[in-house]
Chain A
Amino acid sequence: MSTKAIESLSEDTVRHIAEERDEPEWLLETRLNALEALETAELPDVIQTPGRRWTDLEALDFEALVDPLNQSDATERTAGDDEVVVAPFTEAFAEHGDVLEEHFGSVLDPEHNYLTALSVALFTTGTFVYVPEGVDVEDVKIRAEMNSRSLFSQTLVVAEESSSVTILESIESGSEAAASDIEGDRYFSNLVEVVGGENADVQFGSLQNLDDDTYTYSLKRGVTDTYATIDWIESNFGSKLTRSDVETELNGDGSESQIVGTFFGSEDQHFDVNARVWHQAEHTTADLVTRGVLDDVARSVYEGVQDVGRDAWNTSSYQRENTLMLSDDAEADASPKLIIHNHDTEASHSATVGQVDAEDLFYLESRSIDPKTARNMLVEGFFVPVLEEIAVDEFREDVEELVIERLQ
């Protein structure tokens, strides 16, 4: 679309990025194709009801936000085990080039939409996680700081047959960036692909706490083979506007996925969070759980999709979404959808919006707890069901800490 064309972007920009990173030819080609796709690609779908567009992505000024040649980040990666590869792409081409080439873009089409194409064309950071057959690792950590106007990140996780891995990824604004010369709005784009091999087990936790000048686009998608499990934990605390999509395609018989989401919005933050699952094989199970809190004039938009295909016999699929409103001026929109094409399905969803329960509050106050503390205890308690799903202690503590910080 001509309205979204970014003047400063050209083939040279993309070639320059690829050259600097010493990338193989196939990746350069993928990037160039993505760049070309920008001309026709559309922005991600946003829910529209009569007279209302839930998130206005059209309003983003990509011309001003995207500065492809000055991307900068500081990323710390720990593998916790020698048998697993946790490295930037640039360090993995030599030894694992064939695995990268085989799986890159296999889960998430780079040309899926305008923002994914932009991200693939321009990414300069990210991580390749490779868990060979039968390997079991618990402590993969990727902690990233964003130090530039814009940052595009691309992560690929390949978990081979009967492997197991727990990954924690976090992103925040670097202290340098906040203080220094970058004024005005920033843009962070994060694409994650997870390949869940037969009987593999992947838990991918993500924590986003960027500063409030940043716009975030994040799309994470996994594909399961037979008996594989992919569990996602998606926590969003920072950014002015966040568009987050977490998706699993259950392509293998007996495979499972859980998508747990949390967000906490204050001031004028806007969260557009989406969880989607496609059941495309027999005996698959999905569980989508999202809990969010809104304060001040924050706004949340939620879409959950459970799509059960014609051949997805014996499907179980559940979805819950709960939003807690702490302020009268907050706004919560939700749309939990069921698309069912096979009757051998047990599916349900529910969504609620409400405030802190007056009776609970009264009870705590009657025990001489002051109103503010009482409210905070109830909000912390509200997050417990999702915190319990987080397997990594460190990650759970991070999230708890951020909740408490917000409540101060």
Chain B
Amino acid sequence: MSSQDHLKETDTEARFEFKKEEKSAFKSEKGLTEETVRVISEDKDEPEWMLERRLRALEQFQAMPMPTDWPEAPDLSEVDIDQIVPYIRPDIDVRGGVDDWTDLPDEIKDTFDKLGIPEAEKNALSGVGAQYESEIVYQNMQERWEEKGVVFCDMDKAVQEHEELVKEYFMTKAVPPSDNKFAALHGAIWSGGSFVYVPEDTTVEMPIQAYFRMNSEGMGQFEHTLIIAEEGSEVHYIEGCSAPKYSAFNLHSGGVEVFVGEDAHVQYSTVQNWSKNTYNLNTKRAIAEKGGRMEWISGSMGSKATMLYPSTILKGRGASDNHITIAFAGEGQDIDTGAKVYHNAPETKSTIESKSISKDGGRTNYRGLVHIADGAENSSTAVECDALMFDNESTSDTMPYMEINESKVDVAHEATVGKIGDEDIFYLQSRGLDDDDAKQMIVSGFIEPITEELPIEYAVELNRLVELEMEGSLG
């Protein structure tokens, strides 16, 4: 237990809410023009092909309409790209991140100290990347993984040092910019993020983590994560996100591409606690080869509006996918999240487990698509959605879509919505717990499927966030 004392001691709310004075080495103009894109690319000293990709994505972004034809989609009318500062390079000496926390400017080091990142690194992680505004400021991985050929570096550095791999995989196969308007935006002005390469038959035993922090008001963060897991390898990647709250809106539009090789296993975990003025519009996609296994674990606690549907394309025979998502929407929040799975090969398997909690006028929605292609015989999918509601100001929607073009399949979808059981609360109260504690305990139990997938530090953190959301607002 002693190793978790540091988590108990801290005041979680204060840990996320503090603001630092904005201090940057380079800051782009507000808005998005070809000039902005060229300036970003130049500041990063990128090869010509990357600039070309950015410009092509920009064209696509400008040509595409906002996604307004989705039923009951969150309101994005406030999201005006011309009000966003897309690129802020923090004021640090070493591009690509230092490998010692003490080399960072005090206010940045202090930020991550408060967030508990260096502490977690010591205890539970194989490697850590930390992004502040638009750039990775810290990057380190234990030597024993480096020796085995595992690469974990920031994306900008990967463009320079692993150019061939990046050129082949970057927004070409999994998430092309043409996929959706925000993927196109991301393709034009992406900055920072992680590059992970795990060689054949290598198992990275402890998770590696990236933490993304937005500090400035009105900025947009567009980090790109590219994970390539070769045949028979295994890796667990954890992503954490937060920002202090401002009155103007912030935009986070990350791109994640995961390539799961034959019989490889990748777990991608996200605990998102963006401030409640942040629009969180991400595109995450994995392609799994024969026998590969992809797991998406997502906890969406923060943001004003989230639209996030991690997707997996099961490309090779026997590939499998597992989604676990938890959404918690409080006052003023619209968490529209779910999953997308394409079964494109025989004997593929997917399970989707979605849990959502809505209260104080918040809205959660499970929006998911499972597609089984003709010829994907003996495939199976099971989708389960459970929703918990606290009051009649809140909304809980479930919108699954199933497209089945193959007969030799097993497809099941189930969903339930309900309120917290009075009997459960009564039972706990009869054991001497007060009403608030009883409800908190029931909620903790409700989200347990996700907490048990995370290392203990993160599970504690997630529970703490839930408690924070629940505090004082129960009646």
Q: Which residues of A contact B (CB under 8 A)?
A: 47-50, 52, 310-311, 313, 323, 325-355
Residues of A contacting B416 in the complex (Cβ-Cβ under 8 angstroms): 347-348
**Chain B residue with minimal CB distance to A305?**
B399
A349 to B69, CA, bound (A): 25
Contact count band on B: 35 or more
Given contacts A337-B397, A345-B418, contact A353 B404 (CB under 8 A): yes
B406 and A328 contacting across the interface, CB-CB below 8 Å = yes
B392 CB contact (under 8 Å) in A330, A343, A348, A353: A343
Residues of B contacting A348 in the complex (Cβ-Cβ under 8 angstroms): 414-417
Residues of A contacting B411 in the complex (Cβ-Cβ under 8 angstroms): 351-354
Minimum C-beta distance from B183 to chain A (A):
12
Residues of B contacting A345 in the complex (Cβ-Cβ under 8 angstroms): 389, 417-419
Residues of B contacting A347 in the complex (Cβ-Cβ under 8 angstroms): 416-418
A340 and B417 contacting across the interface, CB-CB below 8 Å = yes
A327 and B72 contacting across the interface, CB-CB below 8 Å = no
B400 and A343 contacting across the interface, CB-CB below 8 Å = no
Residues of B contacting A343 in the complex (Cβ-Cβ under 8 angstroms): 389-392, 394, 418-419
Residues of A contacting B395 in the complex (Cβ-Cβ under 8 angstroms): 339-341
A49 and B413 contacting across the interface, CB-CB below 8 Å = no
Q: Which residues of B contact A (CB under 8 A)?
A: 69, 72, 369, 371, 374, 387, 389-419
B403 and A49 contacting across the interface, CB-CB below 8 Å = yes
Minimum C-beta distance from B386 to chain A (A):
10
A340 and B387 contacting across the interface, CB-CB below 8 Å = yes
Residues of B contacting A346 in the complex (Cβ-Cβ under 8 angstroms): 417-418
Minimum C-beta distance from A342 to chain B (A):
4
With a 10 A CB-CB cut-off, give which of B374, B394, B403, B419 has the most chain A CB atoms. Answer: B403
A333 and B401 contacting across the interface, CB-CB below 8 Å = yes
Residues of B contacting A328 in the complex (Cβ-Cβ under 8 angstroms): 374, 406-408
A348 to B413, CA, bound (A): 11
Residues of B contacting A310 in the complex (Cβ-Cβ under 8 angstroms): 392-393
B417 and A353 contacting across the interface, CB-CB below 8 Å = no
Selected A-B contacts with CB under 8 Å, 22 pairs: A328-B407, A329-B374, A333-B401, A334-B402, A334-B413, A335-B402, A336-B400, A337-B398, A338-B396, A338-B415, A339-B395, A340-B395, A342-B392, A343-B390, A344-B419, A345-B389, A345-B417, A345-B419, A348-B416, A351-B400, A351-B413, A352-B411
Residues of B contacting A52 in the complex (Cβ-Cβ under 8 angstroms): 403
**Chain B residue with minimal CB distance to A325?**
B407
For the complex with contacts A340-B387, A348-B414, A349-B398, 16 further pairs of A-B residues with Cβ separation under 8 Å are A49-B369, A49-B403, A50-B369, A328-B408, A329-B374, A332-B404, A336-B413, A339-B397, A341-B392, A343-B394, A343-B418, A346-B417, A349-B414, A350-B415, A354-B411, A355-B409
A108 to B389, CA, bound (A): 32
A331 to B398, CA, bound (A): 23
A337 CB contact (under 8 Å) in B374, B399, B414: B399
Minimum C-beta distance from B344 to chain A (A):
14
B403 and A333 contacting across the interface, CB-CB below 8 Å = yes
**Chain A residue with minimal CB distance to B386?**
A348
Residues of B contacting A350 in the complex (Cβ-Cβ under 8 angstroms): 412-415
Residues of A contacting B398 in the complex (Cβ-Cβ under 8 angstroms): 336-338, 349
A345 to B402, CA, bound (A): 25
A326 and B397 contacting across the interface, CB-CB below 8 Å = no
A335 to B395, CA, bound (A): 19
Minimum C-beta distance from A407 to chain B (A):
16
B407 and A326 contacting across the interface, CB-CB below 8 Å = yes
Residues of B contacting A49 in the complex (Cβ-Cβ under 8 angstroms): 369, 371, 401, 403
4 shortest interchain CB distances as A-B pairs: A343-B389, A325-B407, A353-B411, A338-B398
A49 to B370, CA, bound (A): 10
Minimum C-beta distance from B359 to chain A (A):
9
A332 to B399, CA, bound (A): 17
A335 and B407 contacting across the interface, CB-CB below 8 Å = no
